Amino acid sequence: MTQYKSKLEERVAEELGDLATYEPDRVYFIQPEKKRFYLPDFKIADKVYIETKGRFTSHDRMKHVWIKEQHPEITIYILFQNSSIRLSKTSKTTYGEWATKNGIPWGDFRKGIPKEWIEQHGNQQSNRDEGRTSRDQPDTKRRRTTVRNRSRS
């Protein structure tokens, strides 16, 4: 008996009867290029970043594979909130296992930020604001106010 993916497909198959066959052929296509950008969470050195991940979706995984392929000069460390979480309910693969399999360096925040990530790249980020426009500069005055207001609560 044919396994349909939805009740709708099953109902349509019943209506069509012998007039059609269900999913007999594959139609291949190339997804058109779509230019996108990515904002890594933390820059720790020139072309070296830390990306923090709680939830690690299939879209996130594809994005990191594409970035690794298209920008081999960039290192992105993924710091998982919990690297032991499985990719999905039915998957046996954890976030950390997936990253290892795909050659992406990763850590688990429950164990802290890996010191070697910082030590390996020294203090290359001392000029972290170089190249930013005034619009990009952090608003430290607002941030201090927010922190001050929290501490009074």
Per the model's pLDDT, the better-predicted residue between 141 and 100 turns out to be 100
CB neighbours of residue 45 within 10 Å: 17
Per-residue model confidence as pLDDT tens digits over 27-48: 887 767 888 899 999 999 999 9
Number of structural domains (the chain) is: 1
> What is the rounded average pLDDT of the residues 79-90?
97
19 falls within a domain: no
Which CATH number fits the domain that encloses residue 86? 3.40.91.30
Residue 48 and residue 118: Cα distance in Å, rounded?
10
70 falls within a domain: yes
Q: Quote the domain boundaries for residue 54.
A: 40-126
131 falls within a domain: no
pLDDT at residue 125, as a whole number: 52
24 falls within a domain: no
Per-residue model confidence as pLDDT tens digits over 123-136: 655 444 444 444 44
The model carries a pTM of: 0.63
3-state helix, strand, coil in the chain (%, to 5): 40, 15, 50
